[in-house]
Structure 1
Amino acid sequence: MPQRPAHPSRIGLISDTHNLVRPEALAHLAGCDAIVHAGDICNQTVLDALAQIAPLTVVRGNNDIGEWAASIPTHATLIVQQVKILVVHDLADVPRNLHDDDVRVVVTGHSHKPLIAERDGVLFVNPGSAGPRRFKLPISAGMLTIDGARVEATLHMLTT
């Protein structure tokens, strides 16, 4: 049986920054063990700012174009403790065989709508948009707390 770590892992979730790094987002992510950015970054300086906080897992969004974004993958996976996480920008690009790959959490962006939902034993999390406000949607980010095989997701409104 795998050893449980001394403390739960905190994985900061952010998406759709669209070239805006809000101080409230940086404060929310401070102290995380890792950060996941689910795309629509729009500029390398966003990643540089986040990388000063914690190791990054990043996927390319539909607005991430140009030479700076060419090496960013469209799908990424990471394993934190006993939890496998799949990251894609658009929910429409999530593969159908999640159980075959033992994926427990899917992190997406694109819609700018914060969401936590469980479907067939898989936790789907969209942290919403931490960038410029779109329509009347909230400005938000998220957090995964992982303790062994247990995972919990929360959303955090960055501004009112």
Structure 2
Amino acid sequence: MALSHPVTVAVLADCHIHPGGGPDWTPQILEALAGVDLIVTLGDMGEAAGLDRLAQIAPVLGVRGQDDSDDPRTALQVRVLQLGATRLGCVFDPVAAGLASAVDPFTPDFNFRPRCRELFGGEITALLFASTHVPQSSWFPGCMALNPGSATLPSGMEDGVPGAFIRLEVAEGRFDFQFVEIGR
């Protein structure tokens, strides 16, 4: 299916939102998400209230991590997003999914391609994954691996490391991404 206009996707992970008892969305994060068409979460988002708040900005869907309440938007362990010709494979932990031998830095497993075809029903443009709280991007022949880090609990937070998420711009024949840093 062709895209009639570019689509902007925010990719979030590892936020561990627990209103009243842990991290919550800051005004800076919510402001940075303004204008996106879709929000994809990659697990460890916390309570459904956090997803509900995101849903006030744009539709939300994603995959389940270890710290997620039961919610149909994130009930799947594996998800593929088809945006025009762009196919995005989503998992929480690529090592557990058999796609990588390590995640920091991302090291694709020797059977990455066949495992992608098995998990996602075909080739993917990019693998979106989480579980490290550290933003990173890796390219290897024919595929990208992208981790948004955490907007609320970045690794190194005690040293002033900013939170982060990924903003994807997808148009027919084009796929771009950028890390958006959230100041503390």
Answer yes or no: same fold by TM over 0.5.
Answer: yes
Q: 1:40 aligns with which of 39, 44, 50?
A: 44
Which sections of structure 2, spanning at least 5 residues, go unmatched? 18-23, 100-111
Q: 2:6 aligns with which of 5, 8, 18?
A: 8
SS of the equivalent of 2:40 reads strand
Quote the residue 1:78 is aligned against: 81
How far the C-alpha of 1:69 sits from its partner, in A, is: 4.6
SS of the equivalent of 1:91 reads coil
How far the C-alpha of 1:135 sits from its partner, in A, is: 3.2
Deviation larger for 124-133 or 97-106: 97-106
- Structure with the greater alpha carbon radius of gyration: 2
> CA–CA distance in 2 between the matches of 1:3 and 1:86?
19
Instruction: Return the TM-score normalized by structure 2.
Output: 0.76
> CA–CA distance in 1 between the matches of 2:55 and 2:2?
28
Which sections of structure 1, spanning at least 5 residues, go unmatched? none
How far the C-alpha of 1:9 sits from its partner, in A, is: 1.0
SS of the equivalent of 2:30 reads helix
Q: 2:94 aligns with which of 91, 95, 99?
A: 91
> CA–CA distance in 2 between the matches of 1:133 and 1:3?
36
> CA–CA distance in 2 between the matches of 1:102 and 1:90?
19
Quote the residue 1:121 is aligned against: 142
How many residues of Structure 1 are paired with residues of Structure 2 in the alignment? 156
- Structure 1 residue ranges (4+ consecutive) displaced by more than 3 angstroms after TM superposition: 133-138
Contact 2:134/2:155 (8 A) holds in 1: no
Q: CA RMSD in A?
A: 2.1
Q: How does 1:125-140 map to 2 (within 5 A)?
A: 125-136=146-157, 137-140=161-164
How far the C-alpha of 1:90 sits from its partner, in A, is: 1.3
Counterparts in 2 of 1:94 and 1:126: CA distance versus 1, 3 Å: farther
Counterparts in 2 of 1:4 and 1:62: CA distance versus 1, 3 Å: closer
Instruction: Return the TM-score normalized by structure 1.
Output: 0.86
